[in-house]
Amino acid sequence: MCEDDKEIFIFDTTLRDGEQSPGVSLNSEEKLAIAQQLSKLGVDIIEAGFPIASQGDFKAVQRIAKEVKGPVITALARTDPKDIMAAYEAVKIAKKQRIHTFVATSEIHMQYKLKKTREEVKKMAVEGVRLAKSLVNDVEFSAEDAFRSEIPFLCEVLTQAIEAGATVINIPDTVGYATPAEFGEFIKAVREGIPNISKAVVSVHCHNDLGMAVANSLSAILNGARQIEVAVNGIGERAGNASLEEIVMALYTRKGYLGYATGINTRELYRSSRMVSTLTGMSIQPNKAIVGKNAFAHEAGIHQDGVIKERETYEIMNPEMVGIISNKLVLGKHSGRHALQLQLQKLGYSLEGEVLNKTFTEFKLLADRKKDILDEDLIMLVDSQLIGSEEQIYIFDHLQISSGTNITATSMVGMMVRSELVEEAACAGGPVEATYRAIEKVAKLPVKLESYSISAVTEGKDAQGEVIVHVSMGEDIFMGRGLSVDIIEASARAYINALNKIVRKYPELVKAPENI
Ligand code: KIV
Ligand code: ZN
């Protein structure tokens, strides 16, 4: 960014609000990998989690604070001292740390959710910020449901939060109710109603319930907001948050009109998007702006003709700018370790030592089953190493299927359970169901398959299939992902991946192999 560029701070909440998306649950290894990628992407602030929510969240935030260099690391806390202390303990080791505390300021939230008066809420805000400020220099205060709050009261709370030491005041549209011009005016009015506003950065956090989170955030920028809270692929509560890649590319592409820049390395956008999609199991709709499969595809003949003659006839951005890869044939069965390492480097991954060895072994196994290995296959290979990198109780070993038009499908599955091979067979109407029944005979867990989806990783008949499942047990939902050139094997792997997450959370449910 040039010296005279006006900068917008990018606050990424993929690991906090994003992780609140239904069915998403990342382990600490996966969170760390995403945080490292966000740092490479150049975000200014990473909201790493909500430490009071669980021991797992606390540990993951602490690990990110310790290992991820570059961005400010922050954690969320209600104004309760226990929350703030947990957030502090989790981020204190970071070189640049921030505590983010919040309380709701709309009538509906104060009356029904908090059951507090205005005076009580004001006191909670001030005391929360004061405590956080006694621990760290950088304190963000959010007025939850700010957009539905009464402006004079909101301004009073925010003025006092700044007085108590807040360095950033965040004005969320928590329920995604605003429209762009209206939200811009709202931000302007709130800024004008806060006498000490120059002492804090104004931030916005827009939800996408009406599909306007990005537009509302841009309108806020034009009215004085300097920090924008976003998530990769726009994931988050309900319809999600403003999408990081859309905000960044709008600012970049329309710099002449909007006049602001970010410190984001746009060439890392696609990789970040793929990683978040793979690890969360939330696939990207093909027509998603910037990172969707069709975002740069020209279908109509007139468009194709135009692009061939002059790219800018139909392209306002070029795919290389966001790091989209060409997806051409890159490697095959005879490619060596060095060729793999070089190709991965071109894709932005620098792998060495044990990780490279493991990836090379997986690459060779894949090359035995798939002739042409494309860039997308390599990215999947690397991202897949991150999945299930924690101890696995159940490991897929082998599978044998018999199925056809007029016969009952039979599946025999072999799984390692704590280093012992266990085999079970089952019948059903189709091979996936038969396989899942056989796996259930091994694991004996009271689970229910909630959703199943399959997609091809690349083009071509020999493409790998990626299966994503959501499996419920009681109130909990677990995502599982499996990848293979054989789609029944990919289905089995996905189911087993989800079961491993269940028994990691409830280890007492695992049966010893002799009891199976
Ligand atoms: O949507 C919201 O209001 C939030 C706050 C906690 C910032 O996520
Ligand atoms: Zn939110």
Any domain includes 293: no
Instruction: Give the ligand 1 atom nearest the CA of 102.
Output: 6
Same domain, 31 and 148: yes
- Among 174, 177, 202, say which to mutate for ligand 1: greatest number of ligand atoms within 8 Å of CB: 174
Residue 245, ligand 1, Cβ within 6 A: no
Same domain, 148 and 196: yes
Q: Under a CB-based contact definition with an 8 Å cutoff, are residues 61 and 77 in contact?
A: no
Give the span between the Cα atoms of 476 and 465, in whole angstroms.
26
Which residues, 6+ apart, have CB-to-CB distance to 412 below 8 Å?
Answer: 399, 400, 401, 423, 424, 425, 438
Q: Write out the two tokens for 53.
A: 């929510």
* Residue with CA closest to ligand 1 atom 2: 174
Same domain, 428 and 377: no
Q: Which ligand is nearest to the CA of 145?
A: 1
Residue 205 Cα to ligand 1 midpoint, Å, equals 7
Any domain includes 288: no
Any domain includes 458: yes
Residue type, 496: I
What Cα–Cα distance (Å) separates residue 432 from each residue in 408, 453, 472, 490?
12, 12, 18, 10
> Which pLDDT belongs to residue 64?
98
**In the chain, which stretches have pLDDT less than 50?**
3
**How much of the chain is in helix, strand and coil states, percent to nearest 5?**
45, 20, 30
Any domain includes 318: no
Residue 425 Cα to ligand 2 midpoint, Å, equals 46
Instruction: Give the ligand 1 atom nearest the CA of 170.
Output: 7
Same domain, 376 and 409: no
Residue 140, ligand 1, Cβ within 6 A: no
Any domain includes 298: no
Final residue of a structural domain among 280, 312, 346: 280
- Among 11, 83, 110, 142, say which to mutate for ligand 1: greatest number of ligand atoms within 8 Å of CB: 142
> Which pLDDT belongs to residue 346?
83
Residue 141, ligand 1, Cβ within 6 A: no
Question: What is the span of the domain harbouring residue 342?
Answer: 329-384
Same domain, 214 and 238: yes
Any domain includes 261: yes
> Which pLDDT belongs to residue 136?
98
Give the span between the Cα atoms of 54 and 204, in whole angstroms.
26
> Which pLDDT belongs to residue 5?
61
Cα 245 from chain centre = 12
* Residue with CA closest to ligand 1 atom 5: 144
Same domain, 333 and 193: no
Closest CA to 228 of 258, 257, 256: 258
Residue 113 Cα to ligand 1 midpoint, Å, equals 14
Give the CA angle between residues 50, 247, 226 to the nearest 5°: 70
> Which pLDDT belongs to residue 455?
92
Same domain, 267 and 201: yes
Same domain, 222 and 351: no
Same domain, 135 and 234: yes
Residue 252, ligand 1, Cβ within 6 A: no
Residue 205, ligand 1, Cβ within 6 A: yes
Q: Write out the two tokens for 501.
A: 């997450």
Give the span between the Cα atoms of 88 and 83, in whole angstroms.
9
Final residue of a structural domain among 280, 300, 318: 280
Closest CA to 56 of 27, 14, 91, 23: 27
Phi, psi of 201 (to 5 degrees): -85, 135
Any domain includes 107: yes
> Which pLDDT belongs to residue 60?
97
The count of domains in the chain is 3
Q: Which ligand is nearest to the CA of 174?
A: 1
Final residue of a structural domain among 343, 359, 384: 384
Residue 128 Cα to ligand 1 midpoint, Å, equals 16
- 9 DSSP β-pair partners: 227
Residue 147, ligand 1, Cβ within 6 A: no
Same domain, 267 and 347: no
Q: Which ligand is nearest to the CA of 175?
A: 1
* Residue with CA closest to ligand 1 atom 1: 174
Same domain, 121 and 247: yes
Residue 17, ligand 1, Cβ within 6 A: yes
H helices then E strands: how many in the chain? Answer: 17, 18
Residue 241 Cα to ligand 2 midpoint, Å, equals 7
Any domain includes 72: yes
pLDDT tens per residue across span 80-123: 999 999 999 999 999 999 999 999 999 999 999 999 999 999 99
Same domain, 338 and 433: no
